[in-house]
Amino acid sequence: MSQLICGFSKLTTGEKINRMASLLNLAGSETKLLESFWHSDQKIQQRLEQFSENTLSNFLSPFGVVPNFLINSKSYWVPMVTEESSVVAAAAHSAKYWFKRGGFHAEVISTSKVGQIHFLWHGDDGDKLAQLFSGLDGQIRAAIKPLITRMEERGGGVTSWKLVDRTNQMPGLYQILITFETCDAMGANFINSVLERVALEFSQGVEEASGFSTDELKVEIIMSILSNYTPDSLVRCWVECDISALNSPELGMDAAEFAHRFQTAVKISQIDTFRATTHNKGIFNGVDAVVMATGNDFRAVEAAGHTYAARDGQYRGLTDVTIQDDRFRFELTLPLSVGTVGGLTSLHPLAEFSLKILNEPDAKELMMIIAATGLAQNFSAVRSLVTTGIQRGHMRMHLLNILNQLKATPLEVERVKEMTHNQAISFSLVSETLNKIRKLH
Ligand code: MEV
């Protein structure tokens, strides 16, 4: 029978595990597994637990690094957190390939973020409300001053606000749209605190307005929240070289044919939504891995990227290729809202480490590094797709996962690797090869 569990979050970690184990009839060995993933340093474990609620253990993911990322002539070791076997290898391959061809070029186009206060006001004359909003400007500014002083000292703050009339889409709906500059912070808490303070001050200002009828004095604030869509926090990254310089033995074709096939594949992602989704997934394989490694919010980054991909009404691939005067240029433009201060960046020991090996970048530099990783990832994926096909590299990277599933010993792993060296890896090939080895011994 279903049972409502109350007070669970108040228990200690050990008590939570015991409570859950007794309710779900878990064996001691199963709960021991949770404990085996606790960090040996209690302070670190405590910190990890506090990031979330009802934490029982840590869910480990590989933390890797890609050397040879040359971005704007500066060399980086890029940290990546991902569980997908081929992602880091693909980024590493691409980084090395472009290192020899001038590296990645990147620029931050803009860094503005947006917050919205959505409210209902049922007066007849929207202009009257707009006038009142302008009149409240000084009062609202004074109210948010304590919240924004520190950000202003760092060069950021509120950059604009305006009242937006949406009554043609929903009766009574208005918004206060506020833009922010949050410097090296992602700024979600800062933005949301300012929005809530503005909403309060604004609704009080309306309630106290003179010359308004009783109905007009009522503002119903529905919600105040940042938008994760940041089309004005944009970064562009590109690689380029002469077509002849694309040559590489592993392509299995000449450079001109490769450039043509590569460009066609990218153009397909711009007209076909099914392909665009997979194409962009490949980009986010790289983007998310760096966003995670640096303690940033990958859900926010993904949401913004996908919305941007659909900005003209059709979801399209985020990269583009131009071939002109025998030059090949491959580029990615991406909205990114990330921080190098605040949030998890200094609280998660490995996020802190990631920023250290990146040489303590500011938010703009991090945007460029993340975009370069996304572009590198996309380059590797599309290159494989239009040359050897994706499965060759993919399954070779997946080989170890299959062997682990089949409980191969280290010796067996080496033997299977040798025996399948030149073959297309599949689960059946690996399991048959392993069986052969096992029969022989
Ligand atoms: C797999 O994680 C990502 C790819 O499917 C991306 C792509 O098709 O471009 C290889």
Q: Is 279 in the pocket of ligand 1 (CB under 6 A)?
A: yes
Nearest to 112 by CA among 30, 31, 196, 177: 177
**pLDDT given at position 1:** 66
Nearest to 364 by CA among 112, 95, 137: 112
Which stretches of the chain drop beneath a pLDDT of 70? Answer: 1
**pLDDT given at position 281:** 98
185 to each of 80, 231, 337, 341, 375, how far by Cα in Å? 20, 17, 9, 5, 24
In ligand 1, the atom with minimum distance to the C-alpha of 390 is: 10
In ligand 1, the atom with minimum distance to the C-alpha of 378 is: 9
Q: Which of 83, 281, 375, 379 has most ligand 1 atoms within 8 Å of its beta carbon, as the pocket-test mutant? A: 281
**344/339 Cα distance (integer angstroms):** 9
In ligand 1, the atom with minimum distance to the C-alpha of 87 is: 2
Kindly report the backbone phi and psi dihedral angles of residue 211, in degrees, each rounded to the nearest multiple of 5, phi listed first: 80, 10
117 Cα–ligand 1 center, Å: 38
278 Cα–ligand 1 center, Å: 6
Four-residue CA torsion sign, 52, 58, 59, 61: positive
77 Cα–ligand 1 center, Å: 23
**134/140 Cα distance (integer angstroms):** 10
Nearest to 281 by CA among 93, 67, 101, 86: 86
Q: Is 374 in the pocket of ligand 1 (CB under 6 A)?
A: no
State which H helix or E strand residue 175 sits in.
strand 173-181
Alpha-helical runs (H) found in 358-409:
363-386, 390-405
**343/233 Cα distance (integer angstroms):** 19
Sorted by sequence, the CB contacts under 8 Å of residue 59 that are 6+ apart come out as 37
323 Cα–ligand 1 center, Å: 23
381 Cα–ligand 1 center, Å: 6
CB burial class (10 A; 0-12, 13-18, 19+) of residue 32?
exposed
**404/407 Cα distance (integer angstroms):** 5
Kindly report the backbone phi and psi dihedral angles of residue 278, in degrees, each rounded to the nearest multiple of 5, phi listed first: -70, -40
DSSP character at residue 130: H
Q: Is 282 in the pocket of ligand 1 (CB under 6 A)?
A: yes
**367/287 Cα distance (integer angstroms):** 10
**pLDDT given at position 391:** 75
Alpha-helical runs (H) found in 124-254:
126-135, 137-153, 188-207
Q: Are 420 and 430 in contact (CB under 8 A)?
A: yes
Of all protein residues, the one whose alpha carbon is nearest to atom 6 of ligand 1 is 282
Give the sheet arrangement for strand 112-120, strand by strand: 157-165, 173-181, 112-120, 220-227
Q: Is 398 in the pocket of ligand 1 (CB under 6 A)?
A: no
DSSP character at residue 245: G
Q: What share of the chain is helix, strand, coil (3-state, %, to 5)?
A: 50, 20, 30
State which H helix or E strand residue 33 sits in.
helix 28-36
378 Cα–ligand 1 center, Å: 8
Q: Is 381 in the pocket of ligand 1 (CB under 6 A)?
A: yes
**Residue-wise pLDDT tens digits, 16-29:** 999 999 999 999 99
**189/196 Cα distance (integer angstroms):** 11
**pLDDT given at position 35:** 95
80 Cα–ligand 1 center, Å: 17
287 Cα–ligand 1 center, Å: 13
Give the 3-state secondary structure of residue 301: helix
**240/327 Cα distance (integer angstroms):** 7
Of all protein residues, the one whose alpha carbon is nearest to atom 2 of ligand 1 is 282
Residue for token digits 């409980």? 407
Sorted by sequence, the CB contacts under 8 Å of residue 239 that are 6+ apart come out as 98, 101, 102, 103, 104, 105, 329, 330, 331, 375, 379
**189/76 Cα distance (integer angstroms):** 30
In ligand 1, the atom with minimum distance to the C-alpha of 269 is: 9
**pLDDT given at position 343:** 87
Beta carbons within 10 angstroms of residue 207's beta carbon: 11
